[in-house]
Amino acid sequence: MSENNVNITIANRLATAHDKISDASKKAGRLPEHVSLIAVSKTKPPSDIEAAFRAGQLEFGENYVQELADKAQQLSKLENLCWHFIGPIQSNKTALIAEHANWVDSLDRIKIARRLNKHCEELNKQMNVLIQVNISDSNTKSGIALLDVANFAEEIQEFKYLTLRGLMAIPDEYLDKNKQKAEFEQLNTCFLALKHQYQTVDTLSLGMTNDMEAAILSGSTMIRLGTAIFGPRTN
Provide the whole-model pTM.
0.95
Q: Quick one: pLDDT at residue 173? A: 83
Distance CA 78, CA 234 (A): 26
Q: Residue 88 falls within a domain, yes or no?
A: yes
Confidence of residue 158 (pLDDT cuts 50, 70, 90): very high
Among 79, 117, 77, which Cα is nearest to 97's? 117
Please state the rounded mean pLDDT for residues 13-28.
Answer: 96
Q: Residue 235 falls within a domain, yes or no?
A: no
Q: Quick one: pLDDT at residue 172? A: 86
Distance CA 228, CA 223 (A): 12
Confidence of residue 175 (pLDDT cuts 50, 70, 90): confident
Contact by Cβ (8 Å): 81, 53: yes
Please state the rounded mean pLDDT for residues 159-165.
Answer: 98
Q: Residue 195 falls within a domain, yes or no?
A: yes
Among 123, 133, 77, 132, which Cα is nearest to 102's? 123
State which residues form the domain around 200: 3-230
Q: What is the pLDDT of residues 194-214, one digit of tens each?
A: 999 999 999 999 999 889 999
Provide the domain count of the chain: 1
Q: Residue 89 falls within a domain, yes or no?
A: yes
Q: Residue 98 falls within a domain, yes or no?
A: yes
Q: Please give the single-letter amino acid code of residue 105.
A: D
Q: What is the pLDDT of residues 33-92, one digit of tens each?
A: 999 999 999 999 999 999 999 999 999 999 999 999 999 999 999 999 999 999 999 999
Q: Residue 119 falls within a domain, yes or no?
A: yes
Confidence of residue 5 (pLDDT cuts 50, 70, 90): confident
Please state the rounded mean pLDDT for residues 124-133.
Answer: 98
Q: Quick one: pLDDT at residue 59? A: 98
Q: Write the CATH number for 67.
A: 3.20.20.10
Q: Residue 113 falls within a domain, yes or no?
A: yes
